[in-house]
Amino acid sequence: MSPSGRALTRPFFARPSPVVAPDLLGRVLVRRLPSGERLAARIVETEAYQEDDPASHSYRGRTARTDVMFRAPGHLYVYFTYGMHFCMNVVTGDDGEGSAVLLRAAEPLDGLQTMRRLRGTGDERLLCSGPARLAQALGIGREHNGLDLVRRGELWIGQGAPVATDRIVATTRIGIRHGTDRPWRFLVGGDGFVSRAPAATGSRRS
């Protein structure tokens, strides 16, 4: 049996993105490369985006770029940004609703040598700690936009071990200009593989 467990199914993703996002922490992203090699990483940081959310790509409606965000839950939305980076999202909510969860960081589990090659760095902490880094480490690009994660093919998400609610930290999202009031960034408290540690509030140990 696979150490990541069975793949998450459609109903898991068919919930509001702010509900799916924290529930994705501790799950295992599994990538099957064309060569047959399997890469795996444990999700430690996510962000939720919704249609009624000025920070979301879907906020201005369904366009060629955001079309996948409006498809059935469980699909992969890959977007290109800053002229050089790809980032991955899991589509959530009802079919026809433009919501998704951005996968921001993960802890490398399997295939680290290949991830190092794809990323061009040997530092384990820098392999998957950031949305564009994660996509690059798993060899995900434009051609994977629209993939169905529920049909266990090139990419899927294993059940793994969900993180207890009291160990999840919620903060505002990173890199956005609008919608900064929504605390929809979720991370595993104290985990060393997140993209950025949350601002210290005085008593939390690091």
Partner DNA sequence: CGTTGGATTGGCT
Partner DNA sequence: GCCAATCCAACGC
| Interface contacts to DNA, rule CB under 7 A | 47, 49, 55-58, 60, 63-66, 69, 77, 79-85, 87, 89, 100, 102, 119, 121, 126, 130-134, 173-177, 195
Report the nearest approach of DNA to the CB of residue 151 (Å). 22
Work out how close the CB of 53 gets to DNA at its nearest, in angstroms, rounded to a whole number: 8
36 vs 83, beta carbon nearer DNA: 83
Q: How far apart are CA 120 and CA 13, in angstroms?
A: 32
C-beta of 156: minimal distance to DNA in Å? 19
Closest to DNA by CB, 90 or 163: 90
Complex with DNA: residue 87 or 187, whichever CB lies closer:
87
CA dist., res. 139 & res. 142, Å (int): 10
**Nearest approach, Cβ of residue 29 and DNA (Å):** 15
Burial 94-107 (b: 16+ CB within 10 A, else e): eeebbbbbbbbbbb
**Which is nearer to DNA, 134 or 147 (by Cβ)?**
134
Task: Give the nearest distance from C-beta 80 to DNA in angstroms.
Answer: 5
**Radius of gyration, alpha carbons of the chain:** 16
- Dihedral in degrees, nearest 10, Cα atoms 47, 97, 179, 105: 10
Beta strand residue intervals within 50-119, DSSP E: 76-81, 85-91, 100-110
Which residue, 6 or 178, has its beta carbon nearer to DNA?
A: 178
Which residues share a beta bridge with 85? 81
